[in-house]
Amino acid sequence: MTIAIAIIWIILSAPIVLFPLLGVDQKILFDYSLLMQIITPTAAAVFCCITGLVFPKDDAMRKVWMLLGIGMLCWGIGAILFAAYPLIYEGQETPYPWYSDIGYLFLVPFVLAAFFVFKKSLHVEVPVWGWVTAAAFFLAALALSIIFNLSKFADSNTVLPYTITLLYTIGDPLLLGGTIIIGSILAGGAVGRPWWFVLIGLILYYTADLIYTYLVVKGQYATGNFIDIGWLLGFGCIAVAALMTRSLFKE
């Protein structure tokens, strides 16, 4: 089932890259991307939650997957709001910052809370290589985020856009570092494998965020851009991770 879902996910995400190559109308691409940005995080949220339900009611793992699911769902709600703007304002691109950013940003605390609960339930020390790799990933991602967001910071003339940009800049690197810490504890185990998928998903998500920022600053972004596939596949990887974990413990 996991492989089938992964293949379906790739097939459904592929048009983002294929449509421009096939000369499909920009409006169709725009609508398709918006729709998929709502469907993929919501589907990932559903898979995370059904994985959580495999574990007993008070079990830490249930909380972990539920929190991940809620995080995905928040992003999905952000995407719904993002998609609603052009519908309300006659096809105009959603401005930055907008209410959709609240949904997008709420993914971070929920996913970090999931990591925290997971780490707490494993009474194992994080290996040195885990800390080192996590710190390296965090710092590298943070440096790139700062570089890509410099113009945004400069353009922020009020506290609100400045704060939103700051949260985006810090949030994604924190997610990457946190995933590596969890993965390093479980290295070599079957439960660790899904966490590497979560990491790949978050790298894709982070990369998409980064290029999105760059293109927005350059004034070259429009919904349906090929970079949108980063979010779709990122959520796909998290959904696959959820299903892999589910198959391990489903009895």
Which residues of the shown chain bind another protein in the complex (CB under 8 A)?
55-56, 59-61, 121-125, 127, 185-192, 248-249, 251
Cα(190)–Cα(193) distance, rounded to whole angstroms?
6
For residues 55 and 18, give the distance between their C-alpha atoms in angstroms, rounded to a whole number.
39
CB of 198 to another protein, least distance (A): 15
* Alpha carbon 205 to chain centroid, angstroms: 5
- Structure tokens of 86? 């052009």
60 vs 146 by CB, closer to another protein = 60
Find all residues with CB under 8 Å of 221, minimum gap 6, and list them: 93, 212, 215, 227
CA gap 78, 205 in Å, rounded: 15
CA–CA distance, 23 with 129 (Å, rounded to integer): 47
**Nearer to another protein (CB atom), residue 64 or residue 77:** 64
Name which of 90 and 251 has its Cβ closer to another protein: 251
Taking CA 198 as the corner, what is the angle to CA 116 and CA 123, rounded to the nearest 5 degrees?
A: 35
Of 56 and 219, CB closest to another protein: 56
Task: Decide whether 182 or 232 has the Cβ nearer to another protein.
Answer: 182
Specify whether the CB–CB gap between 240 and 2 falls below 8 A: yes
Least distance CB 112 / another protein (angstroms): 19
Smallest distance from the beta carbon of 49 to another protein, in angstroms? 16
From the CB of 248, what's the least distance to another protein, in Å?
7
Q: How far is the CB of 245 from another protein (least distance, A)?
A: 9
Whole-angstrom distance, CA of residue 204 vs CA of residue 134: 17
Amino acid identity, position 199: L
Beta carbon nearer to another protein, 31 or 59: 59
Q: Smallest gap, in angstroms, from Cβ of residue 43 to another protein?
A: 24
